[in-house]
Amino acid sequence: MCDLLTSSDSRLVLVSLECMENILKSGENYKNKTGASQNPYTSVIESCGGLDNIEKLQQHSNNDIYEKAVNILESYFALEEDQNIAPNQNVNSNTFSFGASNTGLTFSF
């Protein structure tokens, strides 16, 4: 199923995402009933390359696929947004800093 997410057929990708979402919902129910620490299906999907494929779908031109992929990532995979992607604005000098480390590079606009 994880390999179907790379198909060029948008309908097939969307159906695969919906199926994967139902599996993940089932895993959440199992986790809640048994008191397990995590959804057992998230690690299976990740080990099969499904997480990478879902992340790539965030760039898909079909808005339904994009939205479904984002919803799955936000709901079932505890992914934190990379805070180093967005520029940090220095309000006092109207400059922006980019990057993971402070290299002293600033850009004025």
Asked if 8 and 59 sit in the same domain, the reply is yes
Structural domain span for residue 52: 3-76
Could you tell me if 49 and 72 lie in one domain? Answer: yes
Distance in angstroms (rounded) separating the CA atoms of residues 76 and 64: 18
Tell whether the model's pLDDT for residue 107 goes beyond 70: no
**Domain shared by 19 and 62, yes or no:** yes
For residues 50 and 89, membership in a common domain is answered with: no
DSSP E strands: which ranges in 35-103?
A: 88-90, 95-97
**Same domain? 8 vs 35:** yes
37-51 per-residue burial string, b: 16 or more CB within 10 A, e: under 16? eebebbeebeeeebb
Q: Are residues 44 and 92 located together in one domain of the fold?
A: no
pTM as predicted: 0.70
Which phi and psi angles does 89 have, rounded to 5°?
-95, 130
Which pLDDT score is estimated for 103? 52
pLDDT band at 84 (very low <50, low <70, confident <90, very high): very low
Residues 69 and 88 in one domain: no
Q: How many domains does the chain have?
A: 2
Query: 106 or 5, which is more confident?
Result: 5
